[in-house]
Structures are given as structure tokens and as C-alpha cells.
A and B are shown apart, each in its own frame.
Chain A
């Protein structure tokens, strides 16, 4: 199976509401696309994504694999950068579970294994 990977820019994601972000993720993974989001999903968005994913699981769509690398920086500099609309670091990778075998992560590195 050919693997299609889509990258979504931070700029695009910041214009979206949580619902729009989740819709984008779910529509893409259902089309067998692996998404790389330049702006990581929040913990709350991940929770909502898991919940919404569970509602659409079928025999042919078993769910998602997701992993995020996010900045742990909570210092004043990072807060100011974020406040001004800038980006410090982080990303989320999400793909369909029938295509992505595993996502391995250590704090600084993310590895995606496809089937």
C-alpha cells in the first residue's frame, strides 16, 4: 500500500477551531493518509480525538495511531513567543491504525513504522 503523508502548517492550524482540527484529522486518516501537524494537538484535543475516533470505528477502520512531540518549555520567553502568535516547537503525527503499525517515541524523537 502506498503511503501518503500530508503536512499541515502551523499557520493553517492556528486559524482552525478544535472541531475543525479534529475533523481534518479524522477525514484524512479515514482516507489512509498520515498527517503531520506542525502545531501539536493539546491534551484536551487528543482526548476529544480519541473519543471521536471511537464513534467511527468500523471493521475496515480500526482507529488511529497518534504521537506528539511538544515543547516542555513553560518559561517566560516561550510564553511570550506563543502569546505573540509565534511557535516554539512541537508537532503531532497521526495516522490510520491499519496503515501505521507503531509509533515509537522517546522525548526527542518520533519514529513511525508502517505495515
Chain B
């Protein structure tokens, strides 16, 4: 049926959700994807956890992958965590009151990200390959996406780091397609686009 869509110029539309724990590089990846296809970034990146506290969207991104013409709604989700401690923000030079406000917003962001689990068509689970992948949050996110039959691609991010161990991610989630990327440097990003094109 794709050739019919191609002939008539109609593009298949889907929503791509970026899920994962805080600081795994979701916004860096969302920016990389968005800049590649639209020339504009989605959001602000920082080393402070929970920088993204609301779902950030870039809608109607037109892309062509694997000969398919697609329209993608890119959804950069707040990082999902089981705890949000305002004291974690203090070493970054944030005042106590601001840190408490940030924690409040982060908790709301997590609730929002969980609500959106039902509304994405394809999920990228973005993991920091320098960290232990075998955490309950990662398993919970993947388990819930799986239960909803949402296609999942695991992104082993930050492979440009010397500490990266993408094989650990592959071994933890061997039943899924794992794509090793550096969202920061753009390494392997085309493999990711190809994989997205394959599952849509």
C-alpha cells in the first residue's frame, strides 16, 4: 500500500515518543532528529537532571526513509524516575526554593510522560550506555509499551563516551533492536532513521 501513498503524495503520520530515565540524552536526540529534518531544535539540553519537565513536541516533521514518505510528531518526554529529590539539584548551584519548584514540576512531568504512554505509535527508549541498563524504571517503561503493543526501539546513547558499554544494553534487552548512537555527535543516526522507517 505504500506505493499508493507515494503515488498520491499522502504521507503516513505517526507519533514518535522518546522515553527513558532522566539525563539519558532524550532531548539531545530529539534535537538531533528535529534539526536534521526541520533545521530547528525541540528543547533545551542541560546536565541537570529533569531539565525537560513538560512533554515537548515538534509536530508534522516530514521525512523520507527507506523510500517511505512519513509525517512524524516528535514527542520528547520528561525522564521517568521513581524519586525526585530537590537536594539533587543543589550541587548545580540552584537555590533551595528554585530546586523545590523544579522538583514539583519534575513530578508533574513524570505523571504526564506516563499518561502519554498510551498515545505514541512508536517508542524510542533512550538509555545512557555508560549506566547500568538493568533498572526497574527501564523495565517498567518497556513492559508497559510492550503491553500496549507499541513498537519499541532501544537507543544505546552516548556511545561517544569512553565509559560507554552498549553491549551491556544489548545483553539486557536482547529481544529488542538496539541501535548504538551518539545523539551529541550524530554517530549512527541514519541507522536509527532506517530502523524507524522499518517499524512504521
Contacts and interface: CB of A to CB of B under 8 A. Distances in A.
Contacts of A64: 82-83
B136 A54 contact: no
B80 interface: yes
A67 B81 CA distance: 13
Residues of A contacting B: mostly: mixed
Interface string A79-99: 000000000000000000110
Interface in B92-141: 100, 103, 107-108, 110-111, 114, 117, 134-137, 139-140
Interface string A87-115: 00000000001100001011100000000
Interface string B82-93: 111111000000
Contacts of B139: 43, 68
B187 to A, nearest CB: 29
B147 interface: yes
Contacts of B80: 50
B84 A50 contact: no
B103 A54 contact: no
Contact of A46 (B81, B103, B136): B136
A64 B85 CA distance: 10
A106 B134 contact: yes
B144 interface: yes
Given A44-B147, A50-B80, A59-B100, A105 B85 contact: no
A44 to B, nearest CB: 7
A93 B1 CA distance: 49
Q: Which of A50, A53, A106 lies at the interface centre, i.e. has the most chain B CB atoms within 10 A of its CB?
A: A50
Contacts of B84: 54, 57, 62-63
A53 B147 CA distance: 22
Contacts of B67: none
B114 A51 contact: yes
Contacts of A62: 83-87
Nearest to A66: B136
Interface of A: 43-44, 46-47, 50-51, 53-55, 57, 59, 62-68, 97-98, 103, 105-107
Given A44-B147, A63-B84, A63-B85, 18 more contacts: A43-B140, A44-B144, A46-B136, A47-B117, A50-B80, A50-B110, A50-B114, A51-B111, A54-B84, A54-B107, A54-B110, A57-B83, A59-B86, A65-B83, A66-B136, A67-B136, A97-B83, A105-B136
24 contacts: A43-B139, A43-B144, A44-B147, A46-B143, A47-B114, A47-B144, A50-B82, A50-B110, A50-B137, A51-B114, A59-B100, A62-B83, A62-B84, A62-B86, A62-B87, A63-B82, A63-B83, A65-B83, A66-B82, A67-B136, A68-B139, A97-B82, A98-B85, A107-B134
Interface of B: 80-87, 100, 103, 107-108, 110-111, 114, 117, 134-137, 139-140, 143-144, 146-147
